[in-house]
C-alpha cells in the first residue's frame, strides 16, 4: 500500500523538496547574474563585435546606395563595362558622397583590395560636380581606371554587405583575374609567415621555460618547507613584478651599451667595437619572454611535484633501478599533468604577447599581436585587424579547451 | 636535500652540478630585477655601471631620477590615474566576483562549468584581442578615452582572479556553520557578515590584490581604450621606452619592485592566516 509522504503543512514531500531545490537554484543563479551581465557587456559583446567587424562590409553598399543594386544586374563575365544607367547612378552617388565626405572612406576600403582605388575615389569625389551625360565618357575622362572592367569587378565583389576578403588577406590569399581565390604573390605573403613565426617562437619559449623550470621546481619540492618557502620567493618576486619593469630591466641589460655587453667586453670575450646585438631582434624577445613567463611554468610543476611521495623513487631504487632510470620511468611520468598545465599556460600567454615584442622585438622579433596593433592604430585597416584577431582567438580557444581537458578550469590555482 | 652516506662520488658530483644549475636559473630569475635598483641611482643618463659607481664613489650616485619622477607632471598624473583606475576597478571586480563565487560554489548551481568558463574568459583571451574588441566597441558607445571606460575594462579583466581565489577558499567551507548560525537565531544578513565574511576574507583580499595588480600593471588595454588623459604608470613607461628611454624609468621600476615586495609579503601573510583559520596548519 503506497502512501504519499507529506510535510507538516500537508504538502507532499516531493513537491516541497522540488520547491526548495528550485529556490536554491534560483538563489545561486541570482548571485551569479550581476557578474555574468557585467562580463557580457564589458567583455563578451566587444569580442563579438570584433568578430562581426571581420566580415562586416556595409560601407560600400551604404554610400553607393544607387549604384550597388544596379550593379547586381551587370554580368561581370561579359567583358563589357556596366551600362550608362549604372554610370548615371554612380554620378549621383558621387555628388552625394562629396557632400557627406564619405567617398574617401569607400576608396580606402576598396584600396585594401587593389592599390589605386583610394586616389581614384578621392579625385572623382572632388570632381563630382563636373560629371555630365554621357556619364560613362565623363567618368573615363576624369580617370581612365573607370574604363577598366577589372576595377568594376572588384567594386561589385566588395559591395556585398558581408565579405570574406579580410580573412583571405589574413592568410595571404586574394582574388585572381577571374575572381577565383589564389595565393598572393611571394612578396605580399606576410601573415602566414608571421603566424608560423609566432607559433614557432611560442613553442621555443615554452620548451626553454620547461627546461629551466623543471630542475628548480624539483629542487623546491624536495627541500624541507622552511627552505623551499625562502627559495620560492625568488620565483614569486618576478611573478609579482610589473612586466614593464622586467622588460625595462632586460633593455638595460641587453643593449649595446648595457651591463652584459660591458661585462663581456671587460672580460675580453669580445672587442669593444664588436659588441653583441642582443636586443631589438628575436634573441632579445625570447630571453625577455622566457624570463617573464618562467614563473607560470614553475608554479604548476611545483604544485604537482609536491604531491609525489619520495618513497616512489626510493622503491624504484631498492628494486635495482639506477637513479636515472628511476627518474625517467617513475618520476617524470608522474609530473606529466604539471608539464601539460605549465606548457599550455605558457604557450597561450606567449602566443598573444604584445608588450615585450613591441619594445624589444625590433623587426625580426615581432609577433602576430604586433601586427594586430599596427592595423588598429596605424594602418586603420580594422577589418584585417579583426580577422587576424579572430584567427588568433580561435587558436587560443582550442588550446584553452585542451587545458580544460588536461587540468580542468576548476583546478586552476594562483599564487 | 642532504646526501645519504652511501652516495657514490659520481652521484655526489652530479648532485653539486645540479645545485649549481639551479643556482644559475634562480640567478637568471632574480638578477635583472636586482640590477636595475643600483642603476637607478646613476649620476649620468647611462644604463650601465660607470667607473665611479664601481669604485663606490659617492659622486657616481645621485637621486636626480627620483627627483625627476616626483616632480614631473607626466609621472605624477600617471600615478594618480593608476591608483584611481586600479582602486575603482578592484572595487567593482571584488564585489561582483565575490558574490558570483558564492553562487558558483553552491551545490545546486546549474551549468556550473559553462558559466565558470565564460566568467574567467577575460583571463584566457589574449590581451591584444580584448583590447581590440574593447577599442572598437567602446569607441562606438562613447566610452573610449574616458576613465570610466578604462575602469570597466580593467574590472572585467580582474574578475576571473577574484572568482577563482574566492571559489578556492569556499571549497574548504563548512556549510553546517551556516545552519548552525541559523539555529542559533542569526538572520541571513548577520550570518553573512559574522560567519561567511570572516572565513572567506583572506580569499577575497587575495583575489582583490590580484585584481588590483592586474589593473595596476595592465598596459595593452589602456593603450587602446585610454588616451593621454588616462595615462597610467605602465602607459607612461611604455611610451617612455618607445620614445626616449631615460633612467627615470629605472627609478620608477625600482619603486614598483618595492611595491611588489610589499604585495608578496601581504599575500604570504594572508595565505598563512587562511590556513590557520581553516584549521590547516603548515607542515
- Is there a contact between B197 and B99 (Cβ–Cβ < 8 Å)? no
- More confident site: B136 or A10: B136
Report CB contact under 8 Å: A389, B161.
Answer: no
What's the DSSP call for residue B44? S
Residue A92 shares a structural domain with residue A219? no
Indicate whether A269 and A329 sit together in one domain.
Answer: yes
Q: Residue A345: pLDDT band by 50, 70, 90 thresholds? A: confident
The reported pLDDT for the residue numbered B283 is 38
CATH code, domain carrying A211: 1.10.3720.10
Q: Which of the two residues, A266 and B152, has the higher pLDDT score?
A: B152
B103 with A400: Cβ contact below 8 A:
no
Residues with Cβ within 8 Å of residue A393, at least 6 apart in sequence: A47, A51, B125, B126, B129
- A377 and A289 together in one domain: yes
pLDDT at residue A201, rounded to an integer = 95
Cβ of B136 within 8 Å of Cβ of A50? The answer is yes
Q: Are residues A340 and A222 in the same domain?
A: yes
User: Considering the domain boundaries, does residue A53 fall inside one?
Assistant: no
* Domain enclosing residue B189, as ranges: 77-245
B70 inside domain: no
**Per-residue pLDDT for A1 more than 70?**
no
CB A208 within 8 A of CB A230: no
The total domain count for chain B is 1
- Chain A contact for B269, CB < 8 A? no
On whether the CB atoms of residues B155 and B100 are closer than 8 A, the answer is no
Both A353 and A393 in a single domain?
yes
User: What digits encode the pLDDT tens for the residues B68-96?
Assistant: 899 989 899 999 999 999 999 999 999 99
pTM attached to this predicted model = 0.87
Q: What is the dihedral of CA A395, A305, B206, A209, to 10 degrees?
A: -40
Q: CB pairs below 8 Å between A and B: how many?
A: 270
SS3 state of residue B154:
helix
Q: How confident is the model at residue B279 (pLDDT cuts 50, 70, 90)?
A: low
Q: For residue B143, what pLDDT band results from cuts at 50, 70 and 90?
A: very high
Q: Is residue A178 part of a domain?
A: no
Q: Is residue A175 part of a domain?
A: no
**Cβ B124–A396 below 8 Å, yes or no?**
yes
Tell me which residue range forms the domain holding A11.
Answer: 1-47
**Cα–Cα distance for residue pair A228/A225, rounded to 1 Å:** 5
Give backbone dihedrals phi and psi of A57, rounded to 5 degrees, phi first: -155, 45
User: Is A177 part of any domain?
Assistant: no
Q: In this complex, do B47 and A236 lie within 8 Å of one another by their Cβ atoms?
A: no
**Would residue B83 count as lying in a domain?**
yes
A154 and A92 within one domain? yes
Q: What is the pLDDT of residues A67-119, one digit of tens each?
A: 888 888 888 778 788 888 888 888 888 888 888 888 888 888 888 888 888 88
Mutate to test the interface with A, among B32, B49, B240 (most CBs of A within 10 A): B32
3-state helix, strand, coil in chain B (%, to 5): 75, 0, 25
DSSP string, B94-139: HHHHHHHHHHHTSTT-TTHHHHHHHHTHHHHS-HHHHHHHHHHHHH
Q: B153 in a domain, yes or no?
A: yes
| B159 contact A CB<8A | yes
**Residues of chain B found within 8 Å of residue A236, distances taken between Cβ atoms:** 264
CB contact under 8 A, A49 and B224: no
Q: Which of A42, A245, A409 sits opposite B152 (nearest CB)?
A: A42
Residue of B nearest to A259 (CA): B48
Residue A415 has pLDDT above 50, yes or no: no
Same domain, A152 and A283: no
CATH code: domain of residue B212: 1.10.3720.10
d(CA A18, CA A263): 74
User: Are A272 and A347 in a shared domain?
Assistant: yes
Query: Rounded to an integer, what distance in angstroms lies between the CA atom of residue A376 and that of residue B135?
Result: 9
Same domain, yes or no, for A116 and A262? Answer: no
Amino acid at each position: 500500500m503506497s502512501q504519499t509522504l507529506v510535510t507538516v503543512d500537508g504538502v507532499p514531500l516531493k513537491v516541497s523538496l522540488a520547491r526548495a531545490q528550485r529556490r536554491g537554484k534560483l538563489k545561486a543563479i541570482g548571485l551569479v547574474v550581476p557578474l555574468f551581465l557585467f562580463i557580457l557587456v564589458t567583455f563578451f559583446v566587444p569580442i563579438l563585435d570584433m568578430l562581426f567587424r571581420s566580415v562586416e562590409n556595409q560601407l560600400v553598399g551604404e554610400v553607393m546606395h544607387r549604384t550597388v543594386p544596379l550593379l547586381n544586374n551587370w554580368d561581370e563575365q561579359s567583358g563589357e563595362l556596366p551600362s550608362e544607367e549604372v554610370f548615371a547612378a554612380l554620378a549621383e552617388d558621387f555628388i552625394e558622397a562629396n557632400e557627406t565626405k564619405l567617398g574617401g572612406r569607400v576608396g580606402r576600403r576598396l584600396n585594401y583590395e587593389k592599390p589605386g582605388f583610394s586616389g581614384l575615389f578621392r579625385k572623382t569625389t572632388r570632381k563630382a560636380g563636373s560629371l555630365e551625360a554621357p556619364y560613362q565618357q565623363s567618368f573615363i575622362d576624369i580617370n581612365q581606371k573607370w574604363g577598366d572592367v577589372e576595377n568594376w569587378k572588384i567594386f561589385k565583389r566588395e559591395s556585398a554587405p558581408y565579405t570574406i576578403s579580410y580573412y583571405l588577406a589574413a592568410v595571404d590569399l586574394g582574388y585572381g583575374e577571374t575572381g577565383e581565390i589564389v595565393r598572393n604573390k611571394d612578396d605580399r605573403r606576410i601573415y602566414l609567415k608571421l603566424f608560423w613565426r609566432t607559433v614557432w617562437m611560442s613553442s621555443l619559449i615554452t620548451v626553454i621555460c620547461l627546461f629551466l623550470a623543471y630542475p628548480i621546481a624539483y629542487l623546491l619540492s624536495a627541500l624541507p618547507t622552511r627552505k623551499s618557502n625562502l627559495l620560492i620567493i625568488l620565483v614569486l618576486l618576478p611573478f609579482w613584478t610589473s612586466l614593464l619593469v622586467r622588460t625595462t630591466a632586460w633593455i638595460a641589460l641587453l643593449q649595446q651599451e648595457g651591463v652584459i655587453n660591458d661585462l663581456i667586453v671587460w672580460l675580453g670575450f669580445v672587442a669593444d667595437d664588436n659588441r653583441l646585438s642582443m636586443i631589438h631582434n628575436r634573441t632579445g624577445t625570447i630571453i625577455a619572454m622566457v624570463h617573464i613567463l618562467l614563473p607560470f611554468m614553475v608554479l604548476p610543476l611545483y604544485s604537482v611535484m609536491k604531491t609525489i611521495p619520495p618513497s616512489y623513487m626510493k622503491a624504484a631504487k631498492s628494486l635495482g633501478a639506477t637513479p636515472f632510470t628511476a627518474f625517467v620511468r617513475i618520476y617524470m611520468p608522474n609530473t606529466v599533468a604539471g608539464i601539460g598545465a605549465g606548457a599550455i599556460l605558457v604557450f597561450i600567454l606567449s602566443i598573444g604577447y604584445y608588450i615585450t615584442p613591441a619594445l624589444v622585438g625590433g623587426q625580426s622579433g615581432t609577433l602576430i599581436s604586433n601586427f594586430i596593433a599596427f592595423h588598429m592604430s596605424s594602418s586603420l585597416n580594422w577589418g584585417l585587424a579583426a580577422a587576424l584577431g579572430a584567427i588568433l582567438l580561435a587558436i587560443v580557444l582550442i588550446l584553452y579547451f585542451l587545458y580544460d581537458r588536461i587540468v580542468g578550469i576548476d583546478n586552476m590555482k594562483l599564487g | 636535500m642532504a646526501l645519504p652516506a652511501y652516495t657514490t662520488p659520481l652521484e655526489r658530483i652530479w648532485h653539486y652540478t645540479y645545485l649549481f644549475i639551479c643556482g644559475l636559473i634562480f640567478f637568471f630569475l632574480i638578477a635583472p630585477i636586482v640590477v636595475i635598483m643600483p642603476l637607478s641611482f646613476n649620476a649620468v643618463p647611462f644604463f650601465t655601471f660607470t667607473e665611479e659607481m664601481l669604485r663606490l664613489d659617492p659622486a657616481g650616485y645621485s637621486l636626480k631620477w627620483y627627483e625627476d619622477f616626483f616632480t614631473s607632471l607626466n609621472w605624477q598624473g600617471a600615478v594618480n590615474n593608476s591608483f584611481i583606475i586600479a582602486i575603482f576597478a578592484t572595487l567593482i571586480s571584488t564585489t561582483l566576483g565575490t558574490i558570483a563565487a558564492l553562487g558558483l560554489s553552491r551545490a545546486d548551481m546549474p551549468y556550473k562549468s559553462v558559466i565558470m568558463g565564460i566568467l574567467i574568459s577575460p583571463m584566457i583571451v589574449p590581451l591584444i584581442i580584448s583590447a581590440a574588441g574593447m577599442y572598437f566597441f567602446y569607441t562606438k558607445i562613447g566610452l573610449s578615452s574616458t576613465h570610466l571606460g578604462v575602469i570597466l575594462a580593467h574590472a572585467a579583466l580582474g574578475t576571473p582572479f577574484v572568482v577563482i581565489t574566492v571559489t578556492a577558499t569556499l571549497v574548504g567551507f563548512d556549510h553546517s556553520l551556516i545552519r548552525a548560525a541559523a539555529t542559533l537565531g542569526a538572520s541571513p544578513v548577520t550570518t553573512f557578515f559574522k560567519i561567511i565574511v570572516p572565513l572567506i576574507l583572506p580569499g577575497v583580499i587575495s583575489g582583490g590584490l590580484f585584481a588590483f595588480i592586474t589593473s595596476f600593471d595592465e598596459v595593452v588595454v589602456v593603450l587602446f581604450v585610454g588616451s593621454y588623459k588616462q595615462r597610467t604608470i605602465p602607459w607612461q613607461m611604455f611610451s617612455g621606452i618607445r620614445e626616449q628611454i631615460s633612467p627615470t624609468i629605472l627609478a620608477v621600476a625600482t619603486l614598483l619592485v618595492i611595491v611588489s615586495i610589499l604585495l608578496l609579503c601581504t599575500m604570504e601573510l594572508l595565505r598563512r592566516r587562511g590556513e590557520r583559520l581553516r584549521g590547516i596548519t603548515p607542515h
